[in-house]
Amino acid sequence: MPTPTPAPDRRPHRFAVWAPDAVTVEVEVDGGVHPMRRDPSRDGWWETGVPADPAASRYGFRLDGGPTRPDPRSPRQPDGPDGLSRLVDHAAFPWRTPERPGHGFDGAVLYELHVGTFSPEGTFDAALARLPHLAELGVTHVELMPVCSFPGRQGWGYDGVSPWSVHEPYGGPDGLKRFVDAAHGHGLGVVLDVVHNHLGPSGNHLPAFGPYFTDRHHTPWGAAVNLDAPGSDEVRAYLIDSALAWLRDYRIDGLRLDAVHALVDTRALPFLEQLAAAVDALARRSGRPLFLVGESDLNDPRLITPREAGGTGLAGQWSDDFHHALHATLTGERQGYYADFAARPLAALAKTLTGGFFHDGSWSSFRGRSHGRPLDALRTPMHRLLGYAQTHDQIGNRALGDRLAATLTPELLAAGAALVLLSPFTPMLFMGEEWGASTPWQYFTDHQDPALAQAVREGRRREFAEHGWRPDQIPDPQAESTFAASRLDWTEPQRGHHAALLEWYRLLLRLRGLATGAAEVRFDEAARWLTVRRGALTLGVNLADGPRELPLPEGRRVAAFPAGQATGPVLAPQATVIVHGAGEADPRDR
């Protein structure tokens, strides 16, 4: 006699939704439809209690007799953004690593990765199998590009439309939890990239429920998220509660906030300040050092100034000025925004290393106006800025998605690595950078709407046609080959110059603890050399075509790339990096 299937665990569940303009609201739960009533304690909210399986019931909401739509706060979308929502019992997950304080932002080294291309399988489980590599490398946090639900299987994730749910092809909610749990087991924190400034163009059901967007302001993606018009209290709560859910339910350690300069907000209490205060409150309650990092192109230090000093209170922000100066120095590129940095690239690099921002109120030819304001190092230390040579943006938004390794020698890649990892900034690497990955990282999409897919394809070709590219030269974002080409090749780290670069990154990350305090920079623009001294370490970089004598201090040489290529103060051509330690123990012996 077959064993009977156990009955589903059904218990009363409170369903609630904000729909201020609806006349009637119903909830569909596992095929049954139930009327909802207005919540007298919260304006615009509807609620009802229905028996449901807390880990499996499918549900959605009907407004004024219309179609069943997914929950705006859906914790899971097993059939994609247009399907029914599914309940998730977060308390039932069997965490293996005990919840503990973890690693905060101060002293962090971040490693940005895209789940879909980090491994051949493109899943959380496949990615967590590579965590020992990251732990051995010496980074402290893995920064995941967005993982909330979006249409199709593959994409960058910035067109997500369900900010509370996890993309099913990656492994869904439990897959993300397994990844975080494993990362914590390896001593690694996890940072998640979240997008509050817009939602994707397809699968977005929020406008049917309420004023989540406003025509008062416009962004590159259309109508702005409603942060200051009528109804904005609930929209702010929606985004803040989503952020807290990632930190609480998934034990994420920090959030990277996409393009915060596109959050148009005229209220006296800015949304970002309100969000930062809420995250700090959760950190105090949980005993975990949670943090926020913003992406902003405003060069406004108030974003990362403590709230008690009149700032917004974010822990850090991406620093494109340092990237642009470093990129112009290493590559000689002068197009677009690199024009501001390319006239005297070493001077630009020195300014960012010592002052944080290059544009600190200075003229920007790219913008046709002055830009930014100075960073006050007393209130806003330099480690509040993230320093990097490559990111998903700076690679993927190029016509071919080509990394620095496509055009630079291993020696120049090593120079860039040393300038990032021994800088006064919080360093960030992009996946595969540590071995000079030869695979590109291209712009890829999987839009299910044929018209939208064609519009994106044509838009990208049109964008680069203005810079001299033919349409047939631009990879098709919708092609499977574009996505496949962007996957890392994990056979590379064991081969040739890739292995040498990987060992160089590991050594630099061990040396990083000896590089303390502000940077003292000397350079010669014409002779193409630069030195950076921080604490016990001095870094020398020769970018010239021939040998150069650099003003290096007395002391014991502890590292060079390529190994053994330089002696004394003379650096041979492209034997570009020496780390000079004075009286310190060799970190390789630790």
Looking at residue 589, its pLDDT comes to 41
Q: Is the entire prediction scored with pTM above 0.85?
A: yes
Q: Give the whole-angstrom CA distance, residue 117 versus residue 431.
A: 9
**CA angle, 430 as apex, 515 and 394 as ends, to 5°?**
105
Structural domain tally of the chain? 3
Catalytic one among 295, 393, 433, 446? 295
Q: Is the pLDDT of residue 279 over 80?
A: yes
Looking at residue 574, its pLDDT comes to 52
The verdict on residue 361 lying in a domain is no
The verdict on residue 477 lying in a domain is no
Band of residue 445 on the pLDDT scale cut at 50, 70, 90 = very high
The mean pLDDT of 526-548, rounded to a whole number, is 90
The verdict on residue 303 lying in a domain is yes
Rg, the chain, Cα only: 25
The mean pLDDT of 477-501, rounded to a whole number, is 97
CATH number at residue 31: 2.60.40.10
For residues 138 and 243, state if they share a domain. yes
For residues 175 and 33, state if they share a domain. no
Report the percent of the chain where pLDDT is more than 70: 94
- How many angstroms separate the Cα of 85 from the Cα of each of 43, 76, 247, 576? 24, 6, 21, 55
Band of residue 8 on the pLDDT scale cut at 50, 70, 90 = low
The mean pLDDT of 27-32, rounded to a whole number, is 98
Tens digits of per-residue pLDDT, 490-500? 999 999 999 99
Looking at residue 492, its pLDDT comes to 98
Beta partners for residue 68, in sequence order:
62
Q: Which residues contact 95 (CB under 8 A, 6 or more apart)?
A: 177, 181, 251
For residues 79 and 118, state if they share a domain. no
Q: Which residues contact 197 (CB under 8 A, 6 or more apart)?
A: 219, 221, 224, 225, 258, 259, 260, 262, 263
Tell me the residue type at 224: A
Q: Identify the three-state secondary structure at position 73.
A: coil
Q: Is the pLDDT of residue 1 over 70?
A: no
Tens digits of per-residue pLDDT, 291-343? 999 999 999 999 999 999 999 999 999 999 999 999 999 999 999 999 999 99
The verdict on residue 4 lying in a domain is no
The lowest-confidence range among 74-88, 141-155, 535-549, 573-587 is: 573-587
Active site residue 143: no
Q: Is the pLDDT of residue 539 over 80?
A: yes
Active site residue 258: yes
Q: Is the pLDDT of residue 477 over 70?
A: yes
For residues 185 and 302, state if they share a domain. yes
When the pLDDT of each residue in the chain is averaged and rounded to a whole number, the result is: 92
For residues 290 and 143, state if they share a domain. yes
- Name the one residue in this structure whose structure tokens are 């087991």: 185
Q: Is the pLDDT of residue 171 over 70?
A: yes
Band of residue 564 on the pLDDT scale cut at 50, 70, 90 = low
Band of residue 587 on the pLDDT scale cut at 50, 70, 90 = very low
For residues 119 and 87, state if they share a domain. no
Looking at residue 567, its pLDDT comes to 57
Looking at residue 39, its pLDDT comes to 96
The lowest-confidence range among 35-44, 257-266, 540-549 is: 540-549
Tens digits of per-residue pLDDT, 111-158? 999 999 999 999 999 999 999 999 999 999 999 999 999 999 999 999
CATH number at residue 530: 2.60.40.1180
Tens digits of per-residue pLDDT, 211-259? 999 999 888 778 899 999 999 999 999 999 999 999 999 999 999 999 9
- How many angstroms separate the Cα of 48 from the Cα of each of 28, 360, 415? 11, 54, 61
- Give, for 482, the enclosing helix (H) or strand (E): helix 480-485
Tokens of 400: 């071919």
The verdict on residue 492 lying in a domain is no
- Last-in-domain residue among 286, 318, 350: 318
For CA atoms 439, 336, 545, 419, the dihedral sign is: negative
Looking at residue 552, its pLDDT comes to 82
For residues 116 and 65, state if they share a domain. no
Looking at residue 103, its pLDDT comes to 82
The verdict on residue 392 lying in a domain is no
For residues 32 and 166, state if they share a domain. no
Q: Give the whole-angstrom CA distance, residue 51 versus residue 64.
A: 23
Q: Is the pLDDT of residue 167 over 80?
A: yes
For residues 19 and 157, state if they share a domain. no
Looking at residue 571, its pLDDT comes to 64
For residues 127 and 190, state if they share a domain. yes
Q: Give the whole-angstrom CA distance, residue 352 versus residue 374.
A: 11
Looking at residue 554, its pLDDT comes to 75
Tell me the residue type at 249: D
Q: Are 163 and 148 in contact (CB under 8 A)?
A: yes
Catalytic one among 168, 228, 258, 297? 258
- How many angstroms separate the Cα of 80 from the Cα of each of 54, 85, 575? 20, 9, 51
The verdict on residue 241 lying in a domain is yes
φ/ψ bin of 212: left (φ > 0), alpha (ψ from -120 to 50), beta (otherwise): alpha
Q: Give the whole-angstrom CA distance, residue 377 versus residue 379.
A: 6
Q: Give the whole-angstrom CA distance, residue 312 versus residue 301.
A: 9
- Identify the domain containing residue 531 by its residue range: 516-589
Tens digits of per-residue pLDDT, 372-419? 999 987 778 999 999 999 999 999 999 999 999 999 999 899 999 999
Q: Is the pLDDT of residue 475 over 70?
A: yes
Looking at residue 588, its pLDDT comes to 42
CATH number at residue 165: 3.20.20.80
Looking at residue 163, its pLDDT comes to 95
Q: Identify the three-state secondary structure at position 71.
A: coil
Q: Is the pLDDT of residue 590 over 50?
A: no
Q: Identify the three-state secondary structure at position 166.
A: strand
Q: Is the pLDDT of residue 583 over 70?
A: no
Band of residue 577 on the pLDDT scale cut at 50, 70, 90 = low
For residues 117 and 47, state if they share a domain. no
The mean pLDDT of 411-435, rounded to a whole number, is 96
The mean pLDDT of 461-474, rounded to a whole number, is 91
The lowest-confidence range among 264-273, 459-468, 489-498 is: 459-468
- Last-in-domain residue among 263, 288, 318: 318
Band of residue 25 on the pLDDT scale cut at 50, 70, 90 = very high
- Last-in-domain residue among 92, 123, 142: 92
Q: Is the pLDDT of residue 555 over 90?
A: no
The verdict on residue 48 lying in a domain is yes
Tokens of 256: 């990277």
For residues 247 and 180, state if they share a domain. yes
Report the percent of the chain where pLDDT is more than 90: 84
Looking at residue 394, its pLDDT comes to 97
Band of residue 96 on the pLDDT scale cut at 50, 70, 90 = very high
Q: Is the pLDDT of residue 9 over 80?
A: no
